[in-house]
Amino acid sequence: MKPLSLRFMIISAALAALILLGGSLWLLSGLSPAAQSAAAPKEAKSPAAVSQTKAVQPVLPESKPLPVSEALSQRVTEYHIDVQLDADARALQATETVTWIHPGQKPVQELYFHLYPNAFTSEKTTFMKESGGELRGDTMPENGYGSMTITDLRTTEGVSLMQRMQYVQPDDGNINDKTLVKVHLPQPVNGGESVTLKIQFEVKLPKIFARMGTAGNFVMAGQWFPKLSVYEPKGTRGVQEEGWDLHQYHGTSEFYSDFGIYNVTISVPANYIVGATGFPVKSAQIKQDRKIYQFYADDVHDFAWAASPDFVVAEEAFSAPNVPGVRIKLYLDPLHKDLQERYFQATKAALTAFSKWYGPYPYSTLSIVVPPKEGNGAGGMEYPTLITAFGAAESSPGMSLERTVIHEIGHQYFYGMVANNEFEEAWLDESFTSYAEDRLMEQEYGVSSSAALQASMVTVPQQLNLETWKYSAADGYTRNVYIRGKLVLKDIEQQVGTKTMDAILLAYARKYRFKHPSTADFQKIVEKVTKQSWQDYFDQYVYSGGAPDFSVDRITTGSGKNSADGVEARYEATVEVSNKGSGYANVPVKFTFTDGYTVQQFWNGEQKTTAFQLSYKAPLASVDIDPGHSILLESKHLNNFMLAELAPKTLSRWTLSVTKLLETLLGTLVW
């Protein structure tokens, strides 16, 4: 790692000056970030506040104003949160002031909030029932339950809404699931208007096994605050009727939120260090035995933070083409304190490549948190401007260190800026990020993956735009959303060429930057760039679980015969092949003869079966369909090959037995 340069110090000074200048402008104007917008929405007022006696309510701290930046997104939400960590009790005490700007047209009288920590209240919640208390190999620790409780909820006029809350379970009707709550408002909110609520809440942090919680003195606060659901105007992701997109927290689901502004004050014990989404407004302040941090982020759709007294912190400033300037921050477990250079190198490689391929990185910070070994359940996760690496299980990890960092930084683009609905179309972030990860790992480190082996793991192909909890099992979700979807993208690239695929992905990322795209939106970009219809392809391989399944069905050979004029003998052969799966064109078929000569022909794939007639001076030895495994979407390769010299009955039994054996073995692999 190079020492800090003069350029580094100049960039640092410039960033500090910008923050101070922004604060000064705010003070001179007397306006908040929301008020600086060109057309400030009118807040919906509650008539109940006029007729009712104003209730006495707890004091809710008001966050300090912050610099205003040019909006990159619609900024539907604005959160001001003050939270205090009680490390001994594994608890958070917090207040939240949240403003929602109605992005649609129809009057709305209910708001919906995700209360994600309630997924861990008991074994009866939807998340726990579906996951079995396990996620990505980590299991729920003993007595590791957690929860979220809203202790006060009011309008800005002081009207209590506590009796207007109702837990809802739109996906499975599980009455024991309290991860989604409806709040009935005193008065409807019309399109373009805003409504502000004040919330007090408590979180009993679970012991980490699934993204959030505590492990010793390490804290991962992900999905830790009451978060508004997404209200989709007509046309968003192709919806025909505007309305709320409502889902519980499932065993395989991740998240979906609107872009907005976050101003978060975090109070921790004095010896703790905090890393968070966004950037610190000022240096942490010590007050009595507490350390107070204040972070700000805009044009993001989530806010996460991590805390520990053991973090080893390192920072570097970095800029590159399409990366105007970003401060990279590492929060390392002590076991990885000597691996700073590897983390920085992987981060810089990812920012440089992804910003070139998918558009500039627009934020001023990027934080990487390395959990301790026992907090691995929080590792390998993405949040806006903050990612977590895998837990520090060893002091000299393999390339999984770089691969994880690169993958999670890829999510800053697909999910972070191109913000798809992870409940319903998870492949739009996981498959796209996995595709980008593979490409960069090969480019930067020379590490390539075996597409054929990965394809063989997709034993039950299913449609890609499927709600995550509807896949056949947890491994069905993983193998389709992470592997099969990535192979679909690689297959498209193979058909159109790398240059055209780059143009497709860049056009998609540009058009839907800071928006909520759908699979159909991506299809339109593919068709626009290639100037042809891809409907049949998407119908087979995206909107359904299509996969080709090529088979050498029969080889019939004849004895060599000398011709009358003395020309050497010719051996005749008929080879019957079929595709027992989805249609696919330009299928290579390789024929090998006993003298070592090979010839490759292409099957157009228009019919389910075809036959090849061969004549050569030596007998046919074998037939191999797609010998180079160039057709990435086929998962069953073993019936692609057949030896000619075996008797048909023996050949069929041998092929079937070996196929079943190897497919069983491959089916036990974990991605």
Per the annotation, where are the binding residues for Zn(2+)? 407, 411, 430
Give the distance from CA 542 to its chain's centroid.
18
Q: Which residue type occupies 265? A: T
Q: Indicate the length of the chain as a whole number.
A: 671
Distant-in-sequence contacts of 517-524, Cβ < 8 A, 24+ apart: 517/237, 517/418, 517/420, 517/428, 518/237, 518/238, 518/420, 518/421, 518/425, 518/428, 518/465, 519/425, 519/427, 519/428, 519/464, 519/465, 519/543, 520/237, 520/238, 521/237, 521/238, 522/428
What residues are paired with 566 via a beta bridge?
none
E strands, 72-163, in order = 77-86, 91-101, 108-114, 134-135, 138-139, 147-155
Alpha carbons 73 and 53: distance in angstroms, whole number: 39
d(CA 525, CA 500): 11
Query: Is 425 an annotated catalytic residue?
Result: no
Distance CA 644, CA 663 (A): 23
> What angle separates helix 498-511 from helix 519-530, to the nearest 10 degrees?
130
Q: How far is CA 508 from CA 161, 257, 349, 637, in A?
A: 42, 20, 22, 33
Find how far residue 524's CA is from the centre of its chain: 21
Q: Which of 382, 408, 424, 634 is catalytic?
A: 408
Asked if 60 and 198 touch (Cβ cutoff 8 Å), the reply is: yes
Taking residue 668's Cβ as centre, other Cβ atoms within 10 Å add up to 7
Q: DSSP characters for 251-316?
A: SS-------EEEEEEEEEETT-EEEESSEESS--EEETTEEEEEEEEEEES---EEEESSPEEEEE
Question: Cα(607)–Cα(585) distance, rounded to whole angstroms?
Answer: 10
Catalytic (active site) residue 408: yes
**Torsion on CA atoms 52, 58, 64, 66, rounded to nearest 10:** -60
Q: What is the b/e burial string over 583-600, where b = at least 16 CB atoms within 10 angstroms of the residue's CB?
A: ebeebbbbbbbeeeeeee
Q: Residue 465: which H helix or E strand, with range?
A: none
Alpha-carbon distance of 343 to 405, in angstroms, equals 7
Amino acid identity for residue 236 in this structure: T
- Residue 98: burial class (beta carbons within 10 Å; 0-12, 13-18, 19+): buried
Candidate list 482, 537, 541, 584, residue with the active-site label: 482
- Phi/psi for 623 (5° steps) reads -130, 135
Cα dist from 15 to 7, 244, 282, 388, 411, whole Å = 12, 39, 12, 25, 25
- Could you tell me if 465 and 543 are in contact, meaning their C-beta atoms sit under 8 angstroms apart? yes
Bridge partners of 599?
591
Catalytic residues, which ones? 408, 482
